[in-house]
Chains A and B, each alone.
Chain A
Amino acid sequence: MKSIIFEEIKYFIFNRTRVAILLIIAFSFSFIALNITLTDLIYAYKEQNAAEESYGDKTFYKITFFGEDEVINRLSSDEYKENIKNLYDSLKQCSLFDYSCTFADSMLFYSADDVSYSSDDFPLYKKECLLGYEEGEADFYESENVLTLKAIYVSPNFENENHVTLSTGRWFATEDFTVSRPDNIVLPVLLGSTYKDLYQIGDEIENAHPATSKGVTLSVIGFLNENSYFYDNNNEKIILNRYMIIPNYDINYDYVLSDGSYESFFSDSYNVFNKLINARIICSDENADAASKMFYKMINENKLYELSLIDETSGMQQYLNGLKDQTVSCGIIAVFMILLGVVMFCFQVYYNIRKNRKRYGIYIISGITLKQLFILMIANALTIFILSDMLLIILYFWLNNGMIFDFGTNDYTIAVLFMIEVVLTVFMAFFGLFKLKKMNLCTLLRENE
């Protein structure tokens, strides 16, 4: 039987080279298209779920600004500090909506005063907690005297997040969101599960710089459960295991110095990015218009004309509609590719049997069993698929550079492709058997059609 299978494969490759090559190329290309289709489908499904989970039935607006460096510099200057603080306070106090200013940023550890501060003085951390670790940029942050860890700056409503739960300790209290003096500042910190074996509740972490030049001390108040997550201001799922979570605090001490300038911790903290840009305004659908009008009234009052609102929910709806259309288009391609594959396989089997009818006739006369014929058909199909997969792998490494071609492979799609190949193989074998059974051996061997 082995020799028959070997002969069959050899015959297919060397005697029907044209068909073999065309089939292999066609199936390789089809699998590339199917793979991308599956990747798109999985992506669309994930995005849809994320949107449903993240937005629920609320309307989300995001604060943004127009302009580039010049506008950023202007908005970041001291000239605008008071306006930014006023707007921020007004937004927080407005009853029409919830104001959420929760965002991911870095937490730096260094000492500007102590020149001997080095990596030996760094707080305890694991490599995966370094900012940029996943993106392969962590080395860039691993300086001799500055440590940059991942952090999240959260609004008081953070504890209402459905998927963020405490394993031990406590949530931030209301007073944790206020800094009352400019010196010896201590901020509470919740740590992700990765830090669990490094710290205990009550531990203090020195020389932290939460986007400020002045250092603060972090006091550990609790740990999050493993795989706690939330959707950030860019609607990206953030798994909090490796993050430090600190309150996005307000300042209630007198921040104007005798010369009229601003105290540095206040100046750094009331940065337009920390307090306004990318913050979210969350309201019910009924209040959406009123909330938007109120926001624009507030920015006009504070002359922060460069700021504007993005309607995240309708933007996301539009994006999801686009994805849905793309999914339909991909679906059409997938269905067509599979149908075409099935039809071409039927043709190939029919063509193969027709071309080698006498050979198959002799096999049957010689007493080949149905099972052995089935194996023969399977071997034929497997040869095509294995060679197609090999070509696919070659094309993947040759062309998949993400610039011109992007094959979008992921683990799920490979498994589904494999399943499709198995189903097609079995189908082809059964179809071959069906065709063989329909053949009239007597006329066939008499060479009459």
Chain B
Amino acid sequence: MRKISIEYILYFFQIVFIGVFFIILLSYNLNLSAQDFLSREMFSKNVKGIQLSNLGLNSENSTELNLSSITSDNDFMLYKYISGDYDEIIRGIYGTADVFGFTNYISEGRFFDSGDYENKTPTAVIGSNMLSKTIEENGKYYFGYSQELFEVIGIFKQTESDLDNCVYLNLAHLIDKDSISGLYYADALNENTVSYVLSAVEEMIPQNFEYYLVDYESINEYGLDSMSNTLYTFAVLAALIHLLLTTVFFIVRNEYTVAVQKLCGMTKKSMFIKYGRNMLILICMSFITIALSIKLFTYFLSDFFSMEQLVYGHFIILGVVLFIMGSLITAFTVFLSEKVNISSTLKGR
């Protein structure tokens, strides 16, 4: 049986180390997940916001936004931000229609309809996880906000998304009762409608209010802190440099073999094929080990290695990176082999 060179064993561990921590870096820093309506926190990519602030508190109560006066050719949704946390999203909602098909996610009851908005009823539609935060009275569920109980008229089904932690309150009722100050988001199927709705809102803003337009900022901050990022980056870089050093040592240790091979007429190309083949086998074995290690990490160390954004795309990138790295190492090996002086090596100088 042929003895495996110590450098190849070292290569294997170095590549696995680089691969594991490179894929952790990738998964936390490169989001390749498909962004649908639910993963965008129940907004489309057209969403835009407007922040309203009252300059003179005295006239606050006499002001209201007349939502029904916003007429647009296309349907739209208007939301008021109340709270946004990773485990609790509370928003006021108003829509000329169910533009984004919230009804499709309802498991019990119904979604808001035009009657709820017109009658300004204190109603709510909640995510499945929010049921525990409601009050049950006479067989009905209520969500409390602003010293008032909002009747739960619908419950969303479990979707394993932010929708599960969401509470939508009837915005028509909120605006009628509360201050109009706050952050509003307009959303529709096209950008023009959103711009039109925001312009309409701007026109309705009383003089004692100031406002500015804002982009939506996701509540889901997913990523590593800068210290962990630094740790993995430098660990991977260090291992990469060690990989190069291993190549230098590999050639030094095998310089007699290389010299003999060259003497026997081994060309640069055949050397590339020989070392390249070994490297390819090594990369394949390392790739499998990396994938298994990641599985083990996510199974045993799930709190830290949850890597929710890890998708096959990351493994494809890793594969490409490993292949390029293997090719470069092979090229470096051939380059160093070329430098071996047949005469002085065989003479032992």
**Residues of A bordering B, CB below 8 Å:** 18-19, 22-23, 25-27, 29-30, 32-33, 36-37, 39-40, 66-71, 74, 80, 83, 300, 303-306, 308, 318, 321-322, 324-326, 328-330, 333, 336-337, 340, 343-344, 347-348, 350-351, 354-355, 402-408, 447-449
**Which 4 residue pairs across A and B have the least CB separation, nearest first?**
A305-B144, A325-B304, A29-B238, A26-B241
Q: B246 within 8 Å of A by Cβ?
A: yes
Q: A340 contacts B14, CB within 8 Å?
A: yes
Give Cα A135–Cα B218 distance, bound, in whole angstroms: 30
Residues of A within 8 A of B100 (CB): none
Q: B135 contacts A325, CB within 8 Å?
A: no
Q: B234 within 8 Å of A by Cβ?
A: yes
The minimal Cβ–Cβ distance linking A312 to chain B, given in whole angstroms, is: 15
Which single member of A36, A67, A69, A305 contacts B227 (CB below 8 Å)?
A: A36
* Residue of A whose beta carbon sits closest to that of B181: A70
Residues of A within 8 A of B14 (CB): 340
Residues of B within 8 A of A407 (CB): 227, 230
Residues of A within 8 A of B114 (CB): none
Q: Is the interface of A mostly helix, strand, loop or mixed?
A: helix
Which single member of B13, B145, B241, B305 contacts A305 (CB below 8 Å)?
A: B145
Q: A406 contacts B230, CB within 8 Å?
A: yes
Can you list 12 residue pairs at the A/B interface with Cβ under 8 Å?
A26-B245, A32-B238, A33-B235, A305-B144, A321-B303, A322-B304, A325-B302, A325-B304, A340-B239, A347-B245, A405-B226, A407-B227
Cβ proximity bits B146-158 to A, threshold 8 Å, 1 near / 0 not = 1111000000000
**Residues of B bordering A, CB below 8 Å:** 10, 13-14, 17, 21, 81-83, 85, 88, 90, 133, 135, 143-149, 178-179, 181-182, 225-235, 237-239, 241-242, 244-246, 248-249, 252-253, 256, 297, 301-305, 347-349
Residues of A within 8 A of B233 (CB): 405
Q: A305 contacts B146, CB within 8 Å?
A: yes
Known: A32-B230, A33-B231, A329-B301. Is A66-B146 also a contact (CB below 8 A)?
A: no
Give Cα A34–Cα B233 distance, bound, in whole angstroms: 12
Q: B245 contacts A402, CB within 8 Å?
A: no
- How many A-B pairs with Cβ below 8 Å? 155
Residues of A within 8 A of B305 (CB): 325, 329
Residues of B within 8 A of A18 (CB): 248
Residues of B within 8 A of A333 (CB): 21, 231-232, 235
Residues of A within 8 A of B225 (CB): 406
Give Cα A137–Cα B326 distance, bound, in whole angstroms: 53
Which single member of B13, B133, B149, B301 contacts A325 (CB below 8 Å)?
A: B301
Which of B225, B238, B256 has the most chain A CB atoms closer than 10 A to its own CB? B238
Residues of A within 8 A of B249 (CB): 347-348, 350-351
Give Cα A19–Cα B336 distance, bound, in whole angstroms: 12
Residues of A within 8 A of B133 (CB): 308
* Residue of A whose beta carbon sits closest to that of B150: A305
Q: B242 contacts A344, CB within 8 Å?
A: yes
The minimal Cβ–Cβ distance linking B254 to chain A, given in whole angstroms, is: 11
Known: A19-B248, A36-B227. Is A70-B182 also a contact (CB below 8 A)?
A: yes
Q: B235 contacts A337, CB within 8 Å?
A: yes
Q: A29 contacts B241, CB within 8 Å?
A: yes
Give Cα A447–Cα B229 distance, bound, in whole angstroms: 50
Give Cα A403–Cα B226 distance, bound, in whole angstroms: 6
Give Cα A326–Cα B227 distance, bound, in whole angstroms: 12
Which single member of B13, B146, B348 contacts A449 (CB below 8 Å)?
A: B348
Known: A19-B248, A406-B225. Is A67-B303 also a contact (CB below 8 A)?
A: no
Given A322-B303, A348-B249, A408-B230, 10 more pairs with CB closer than 8 A = A29-B235, A67-B83, A70-B179, A300-B144, A325-B301, A337-B235, A347-B246, A351-B249, A355-B252, A404-B230
* Residue of B whose beta carbon sits closest to that of A28: B238
Q: A330 contacts B17, CB within 8 Å?
A: no
Q: A329 contacts B234, CB within 8 Å?
A: no
The minimal Cβ–Cβ distance linking A447 to chain B, given in whole angstroms, is: 4
Q: B242 contacts A66, CB within 8 Å?
A: no
Give Cα A404–Cα B223 distance, bound, in whole angstroms: 12
Residues of B within 8 A of A306 (CB): 145-146
Q: B238 contacts A26, CB within 8 Å?
A: yes
Q: A329 contacts B241, CB within 8 Å?
A: no
Give Cα A401–Cα B242 distance, bound, in whole angstroms: 26
The minimal Cβ–Cβ distance linking A214 to chain B, given in whole angstroms, is: 23
Residues of A within 8 A of B231 (CB): 32-33, 36-37, 40, 330, 333
Which single member of A22, A70, A74 contacts B248 (CB below 8 Å)?
A: A22
Give Cα A37–Cα B149 distance, bound, in whole angstroms: 50
The minimal Cβ–Cβ distance linking A431 to chain B, given in whole angstroms, is: 14
The minimal Cβ–Cβ distance linking A61 to chain B, given in whole angstroms, is: 15
Give Cα A67–Cα B237 distance, bound, in whole angstroms: 44
Which of B82, B231, B233, B347 has the most chain A CB atoms closer than 10 A to its own CB? B231
Residues of A within 8 A of B82 (CB): 66-68, 70-71
Q: A29 contacts B348, CB within 8 Å?
A: no
Known: A74-B146, A305-B147, A329-B305. Is A33-B17 also a contact (CB below 8 A)?
A: no
Q: B144 contacts A324, CB within 8 Å?
A: no
Give Cα A15–Cα B267 distance, bound, in whole angstroms: 28
Q: A325 contacts B303, CB within 8 Å?
A: yes
* Residue of B whose beta carbon sits closest to that of A308: B133
Give Cα A305–Cα B252 distance, bound, in whole angstroms: 74
Give Cα A33–Cα B227 distance, bound, in whole angstroms: 10
Give Cα A350–Cα B13 distance, bound, in whole angstroms: 20
Give Cα A66–Cα B81 distance, bound, in whole angstroms: 11
Q: A66 contacts B85, CB within 8 Å?
A: yes
The minimal Cβ–Cβ distance linking B189 to chain A, given in whole angstroms, is: 29
